[in-house]
Amino acid sequence: MAYQNIVGNRLAQAELTTSYATIYTAPAETRTYIKNIDICNTTTGTVRFYISLVLKNGTPGTANAIFYNAPINGTTTVQWTGSDILTPGDFISVKASSAGVTVTVTGGEAT
Q: Which among 64, 5, 12 is positioned nearest to 31, based on CA atoms?
A: 5
pLDDT higher than 80, residue 69: yes
Domain extent listing, the chain: 16-74+82-99
Evaluate if residue 88 carries a pLDDT over 80: yes
Q: Is 43 helix (H, G, I), strand (E, B) or coil?
A: coil
pTM: 0.92
Q: What's residue 82's pLDDT?
A: 87
Q: How far apart are CA 45 and CA 86, in angstroms?
A: 33
pLDDT digits (tens, 9 = 90+) for 90-109: 999 999 999 999 999 999 99
pLDDT per residue over 11-40, tens digit each?
Answer: 999 999 999 999 999 999 999 999 999 999
